[in-house]
Structure 1
Amino acid sequence: MAISIPDELVENIRQSVNIVDVVSPYVALKKQGRNLFGRCPWHEERTPSFSVNEEKQIFHCFSCGRGGNAFTFLMEKEELSFPQAVAKVASMTGIELDSTYTVSSDEKRQISQHQRDLLALYDEATKFYHYLLVNAEIGDDALQYLHQRGLDDTTIDAYMLGYAPEGDALYNYFNEKKVDYQLMRESELFIVWDDGTLHDRFVDRILFTIRNREGAPIAFSGRRMSNDTTIAKYMNSPESALFDKSEELFNFDLAKTTIKKSKVVILFEGFMDVIAAFQAGIHNGVASMGTSLTKTQVRRLGQSAEEINIAYDADTAGQAATYRAIDLINKNSSLKIKIINIPDGQDPDEYLRSQGIDALREVLTRNLKDPVEFNLNYLRKDYDLSNQSDIFNYIEQVLPALAQVKEPLVRQTYMQQLATEFNVSSSGLEEQLRNLMMQQQASRQTENTRVKDNYVPILETPNLVEKPVLSQVEQAEQILLTWMLKHQDAWLKVTSRLDFHFVDVVYETLFMLADGYKQKNQIQEIDNWADFMDFVKEPDLVRVLSQLDQIDDAMMQELDQVDEYIGVLLNRAPLEEKIKQKQRELLEAKQVNNEVLATQLSFEVLSLLREKQAAQSNQQ
């Protein structure tokens, strides 16, 4: 029976390798001061921002934020599980692992027996529904519908599409097989009535199988076959022990090899769009669950791709989703963005049926637009550009988008277009843009004054590398948590406060993990960060830890300052969140031209800002 690799052996393997030897095959490293630097292997950059600390045996990219130890590097670069990364390092150092240890490719994630049982249940349900679609008379209408939508039998089989008939076909099938009632109940494949009886969740629907990254079925999305508009057109499985819709991407398991090879991923809105592209020979397409793209999904795509092409629908909802996606991707990855423009306002599936495979392939690979051009066009819909006031408001909205453009020539081209179209001074626009860019640059500069002077100092990074903009509260969280991990006196001072908690869940999670790590190892201070990263394991948390380790020890000298950081988190954070909420409401009121509400909210925002200013004055 396979068992996990013992912690002692993991630590022995980690200490037996130099992280430089692990990283060097992927990154050309050059000594610079105490650390080694190179160009990050996850994104393009002209100035090396990828750092390796040989003394601490950890790495950190000051640009994209990735970081960790030798195991973490291999997990993210090769998409390995933790045991697989340990095994690969062991093979580099000549350490032989017992065959009973769990490291094989089919064990990429450590899962419980209960989860294995659920996965087996979903696999059986997928096969059952697929059989009813392609082999049973009851699925003829659904199969004919898919054929009319342009899907051939090979594609239908590749995606294991299925049909859920009326009645309780799946329940009866599992019941005959004596499947455990509680397992069926927890699977979310069924609806539980008040009397405790189970009934099929999906009825008279074509089913799209949602698989995890290893290709195992974990959920379904069902499209209704009837014309009854009182029933939802699409119905998805609820979240379960197997399925978290914020993490999963439809078709990622089939697309990941092509994505890694081409470094390009196409983001579609619907499952049928992904399948249509697949049938057209485009195998690097994925879709989120609806249009709600998440940070987790963006970061996963950023691990495999360098460019993302967005092919959402041309309707109002699709365009709004594209606008949100551009902002989310820019803030959470270094992915280069392009927008796919499908002619005649059609979605990819419609275009395939109307124009054919070759035409769809041509559009998806060549009909690409710049995201700035998309944003400029998208923002127009909110303004009457025959009105001078709206012209100025529109320009005020688009300038921040232009300020994010790194290429001077591209910026200049769009600025000239604005000046010509609206007959405004190009020099005036350039001055506004220059001021805006200076403000953005200033917000990225290291603040070197104390908390009581309204700012929390943050770490310095290598030359020419921009740091992410952190709120004052998050800066306080970072420094305070680092201080607590490295110095027991700070830990005791903070934990003596019964009312204390971190604002952001990631820092609260690391705080709790650190408490467990310290108790397990019977230590007071964490000085072996590489080992603590092994304990944490979760890549996103390890990435945050690598950022914390870069904080200058000079920021953690005067113990009295701990109270000031605590004050920021307990007093200022709620007030700042209230201000942000009111500012969001004010912006929404302006967008719908509700002048009365906008005036009221303006006074409320002003009052809260004065309250914040007074609180800051009292701390000085």
Structure 2
Amino acid sequence: MTLMPTRIPEEVVTEIRERVNIVDVISPYVPLKKQGRNLFGVCPFHEERTPSFSVNEDKQIFHCFSCGRGGNVYSFIMDIEQVSFPQAVAKVAPIAGVDLDDKYLSNETTQPVDEKTQALFDLYQDATKVYHHILVNTQTGEHALNYLHDRGLDDATIDAYMLGYAPGDDFLLNYFQNKQVDYQLLRTSELFVVWDDGSLHDRFSNRLLFTIRDERGRPIAYSGRRLEADDTQPKYINSPESDLFDKSNELFNLDLAREPIKKGKQVILFEGFMDVIAAFQADVKNGVASMGTSLTIDQVHLLNRYADHITVAYDSDAAGQNATKRALDLIQQNSQMSVAVAHIPDNQDPDEYLRSHDAAALADVLLKHTENPIAFNLRFLKRGLDFSNQNDVFDYINQALMLISSIDEAVVRENYLRQLADDFNISLEALSDQIRPMLMQRQANRPTQGNEQAVPYDADVPPMPPVEQVAPIGDTAQTYESGMSRVTRAEQVLLAWMLRDNDVWLEVTQQPDFTFSDVSYETLYMLATGYREQHQLTTISNLNEFMDYVQKPELIRILSTMDEIPEALFEDRNQVQAYVQVIMQDEPLQTQITNLKRDLAEAKQMQNTSAIAQLSVELINALKEQQAMRN
């Protein structure tokens, strides 16, 4: 067991928090002004002109209604100082007049690691060193090393990323068996495949290895690229998920890029490992890549902790552009980061552009040659259309106007209208007439009137309509006044209801197979289960104390929003089942339909007849199921 600082007792954590006023802790960082029952100031976590950072002195919590950060005094210190929970408690203790024992004051920020997990970390560390040694020091790895040199990587970069080479003939298995490493540990590691007879064999053979490391720089997985021209083998083989590796939560290169991202508040999202590495060698240090082109909500949330702006620099081919579209939608719906798309000339990916130009040219493209999401989406809408066909022209103009109507700035909106008018030789007046109803509808759907900032829930603001009254619009779930999607709001209200009402808790938990679809809400539900049992509670009415138990900033932010939910939403018990249905049936099915439509469109574009047939059947069945549920 790794030696760790002694955990601060719960009663000490509570005593320190109760002996300070959150206003006294926040005021040195944020000038606050009384406004109604709360104090408001300009949020210290993002740039804004209108104060949306609120502090509730009675409840001793804070919440920013723009960027979503929130919590108690400890979570504020964790966010503003970028420290761990124990360090935050230690920083608040002197303000509370509490002398904290030295055994709690270690600067160590790591979490306790059990012996089995530590053994896996050690195993991957050892494997990485072996693979890297084979690549850079042996004749066996020479052709892989030459390949990397031909791709423009120098030895310092190869060492920084601990790139490796996996030879054949079960080399790694023999290496660990000679060291008498336990069979069960090897089997659990996912470094090996298990045959039917129980024997182990190297997962990676005759492949160049990209080492995937966690946020602390520890090797946890690999992606192996074949170097031979053998189309019978997949180009890449990736580690499966394991006790160490969850691909939806990891980002390649975050261990090296985290500090540059935090310093500049900007991150570049690449498609491939080589793109990240090439950019790094070109002195662009703030690049990361998702595990494949499927960016996840958890990865977006992770980047949102460090960056205010993100540039998507995926490949220029069809797959890369489709992935860019999905990434833009995901980022805009699930973060407060501003977004741009890098437009690399000549349809090259970043690695190719670096090799055909130089480091300065690549850095310049990533910094200056970008387009905003509106410009990208307008260009994306044109794909596959025939503008000699009037139906395609009218369809594009209508979709383009809907997109342009989402722009708040009138001058920017008019600029795009003029471009559209010039492109299709249409009068600006005609386009203005056509977009006017869209703008009026958008204004009518705004959550507040006469106020640009997002505002807290208030008695004067009508409560959210019951879930069953809000239906999806097209392929996108309608959002509520807070900007949340239908399923996210259902999860927020339902979990808050479960915490405060034991009857609702029992009603939901007794339903077979119930889970929250969002991993953050499911994690909070699991933590609440343990907290209730540990403290012998039937309700969790004190969210401030529960925040101390949760400790993770991203989860505390969710809890901080629950205290502002209108009481009217907790009155009709019939709504409990409505929320459950949205979480477990309606939204997953709608998401499935959306994905099927997207995949079908891509299959049609690629003229993949077998995929078109299969996806069409799946889509029809899903639509039938949706119709049956609504009837």
TM-score in same-fold range (> 0.5): yes
TM-superposed CA distance for 1:539, in Å, is 3.3
- One-letter identity of the residue aligned with 2:482: K
Is 1:13–1:90's contact at 8 Å kept on the other side of the alignment? Answer: yes
Cross-structure match for 1:547: 561
Confirm whether residue 186 of structure 1 aligns to residue 163 of structure 2: no
Cross-structure match for 2:609: none
TM-superposed CA distance for 1:350, in Å, is 1.3
2:211 to 209, 224, 229: 209
Cross-structure match for 2:372: 370
Confirm whether residue 159 of structure 1 aligns to residue 167 of structure 2: no
**Greater mean alpha carbon deviation, residues 496-505 or residues 34-43:** 496-505
* d(CA) in 2 for partners of 1:14, 1:374: 48
Q: Secondary structure of the residue that 1:313 maps to in structure 2?
A: coil
Q: 1:251-330 to 2 correspondence within 5 Å? A: 251-330=253-332
* d(CA) in 2 for partners of 1:95, 1:340: 51
Cross-structure match for 1:534: 548
1:486 to 492, 500, 508: 500
Structure 1 residues 93, 153: CA separation in 2 closer, same or farther (over 3 Å shift)?
Answer: farther
* d(CA) in 2 for partners of 1:291, 1:158: 24
Q: 1:2-81 to 2 correspondence within 5 Å? A: 2=4, 3-81=6-84
Is 1:263–1:306's contact at 8 Å kept on the other side of the alignment? Answer: yes
1:563 to 556, 568, 574: 574
**Greater mean alpha carbon deviation, residues 513-522 or residues 158-167:** 513-522
* d(CA) in 1 for partners of 2:142, 2:126: 21
* d(CA) in 2 for partners of 1:580, 1:352: 38
Cross-structure match for 1:382: 384
Cross-structure match for 1:460: none
Structure 1 residues 314, 488: CA separation in 2 closer, same or farther (over 3 Å shift)?
Answer: closer
* d(CA) in 2 for partners of 1:604, 1:236: 31
Q: Secondary structure of the residue that 1:138 maps to in structure 2?
A: coil
* d(CA) in 2 for partners of 1:423, 1:503: 50
- One-letter identity of the residue aligned with 2:333: K
* d(CA) in 2 for partners of 1:127, 1:452: 54
TM-superposed CA distance for 1:359, in Å, is 2.0
Q: Deviations over 1:155-176 (max 9, x none)?
A: 1111111111112221122122
Q: Secondary structure of the residue that 2:310 maps to in structure 1?
A: strand
Q: Secondary structure of the residue that 2:340 maps to in structure 1?
A: strand
Structure 1 residues 291, 413: CA separation in 2 closer, same or farther (over 3 Å shift)?
Answer: same
Q: Deviations over 1:271-313 (max 9, x none)?
A: 1111111111111111111211111111211221111111111
Structure 1 residues 242, 378: CA separation in 2 closer, same or farther (over 3 Å shift)?
Answer: same
- One-letter identity of the residue aligned with 2:355: R
Cross-structure match for 1:121: 123
Structure 1 residues 131, 47: CA separation in 2 closer, same or farther (over 3 Å shift)?
Answer: same
TM-score normalized with structure 1 length: 0.87
Q: Deviations over 1:160-209 (max 9, x none)?
A: 11111112221122122222211111111111122222211111111111
Q: Deviations over 1:123-165 (max 9, x none)?
A: 1111111111111221111111111111111111111111111
Q: Secondary structure of the residue that 1:87 maps to in structure 2?
A: helix
Confirm whether residue 468 of structure 1 aligns to residue 469 of structure 2: no
Confirm whether residue 427 of structure 1 aligns to residue 429 of structure 2: yes
Cross-structure match for 1:218: 220
Q: Secondary structure of the residue that 1:207 maps to in structure 2?
A: strand
* d(CA) in 2 for partners of 1:53, 1:211: 40
Count how many residue pairs are aligned between Structure 1 and Structure 2: 598
* d(CA) in 1 for partners of 2:79, 2:156: 33
Q: Secondary structure of the residue that 1:246 maps to in structure 2?
A: coil
2:531 to 517, 534, 538: 517
* d(CA) in 2 for partners of 1:607, 1:161: 48
Structure 1 residues 555, 84: CA separation in 2 closer, same or farther (over 3 Å shift)?
Answer: same
Q: Secondary structure of the residue that 1:182 maps to in structure 2?
A: helix
Q: Which runs of 5+ in 2 are unaligned?
A: 448-460, 472-479, 606-611
* d(CA) in 2 for partners of 1:140, 1:496: 58
Structure 1 residues 610, 417: CA separation in 2 closer, same or farther (over 3 Å shift)?
Answer: farther
**Greater mean alpha carbon deviation, residues 142-151 or residues 421-430:** 421-430
1:84 to 59, 84, 87: 87
Structure 1 residues 159, 70: CA separation in 2 closer, same or farther (over 3 Å shift)?
Answer: same
**Greater mean alpha carbon deviation, residues 360-369 or residues 300-309:** 360-369
Q: Which runs of 5+ in 1 are unaligned?
A: 457-464, 615-620
Q: Secondary structure of the residue that 1:543 maps to in structure 2?
A: helix
TM-superposed CA distance for 1:444, in Å, is 4.5
TM-superposed CA distance for 1:570, in Å, is 4.3
TM-superposed CA distance for 1:420, in Å, is 2.3
Structure 1 residues 98, 380: CA separation in 2 closer, same or farther (over 3 Å shift)?
Answer: same
- One-letter identity of the residue aligned with 1:28: P
**Greater mean alpha carbon deviation, residues 420-429 or residues 175-184:** 420-429
Is 2:494–2:579's contact at 8 Å kept on the other side of the alignment? Answer: no
Cross-structure match for 1:617: none
* d(CA) in 2 for partners of 1:297, 1:148: 32
Cross-structure match for 1:618: none
Q: Deviations over 1:100-145 (max 9, x none)?
A: 448533x423332221111111111111111111112211111111
Structure 1 residues 533, 433: CA separation in 2 closer, same or farther (over 3 Å shift)?
Answer: farther
Structure 1 residues 237, 276: CA separation in 2 closer, same or farther (over 3 Å shift)?
Answer: same
RMSD: 3.4
Structure 1 residues 219, 25: CA separation in 2 closer, same or farther (over 3 Å shift)?
Answer: farther
**Greater mean alpha carbon deviation, residues 508-517 or residues 403-412:** 508-517
Structure 1 residues 582, 554: CA separation in 2 closer, same or farther (over 3 Å shift)?
Answer: closer
- One-letter identity of the residue aligned with 1:33: G
TM-superposed CA distance for 1:261, in Å, is 1.4
Q: Percent identity?
A: 52
* d(CA) in 2 for partners of 1:15, 1:334: 31
Structure 1 residues 15, 222: CA separation in 2 closer, same or farther (over 3 Å shift)?
Answer: same
Is 1:249–1:288's contact at 8 Å kept on the other side of the alignment? Answer: yes
Cross-structure match for 2:335: 333
* d(CA) in 1 for partners of 2:467, 2:234: 55
Structure 1 residues 401, 39: CA separation in 2 closer, same or farther (over 3 Å shift)?
Answer: farther
Q: Secondary structure of the residue that 1:199 maps to in structure 2?
A: strand
Structure 1 residues 94, 239: CA separation in 2 closer, same or farther (over 3 Å shift)?
Answer: farther
Q: 1:89-104 to 2 correspondence within 5 Å? A: 89-90=92-93, 92-93=95-96, 95-101=98-104, 103-104=106-107
Cross-structure match for 2:477: none
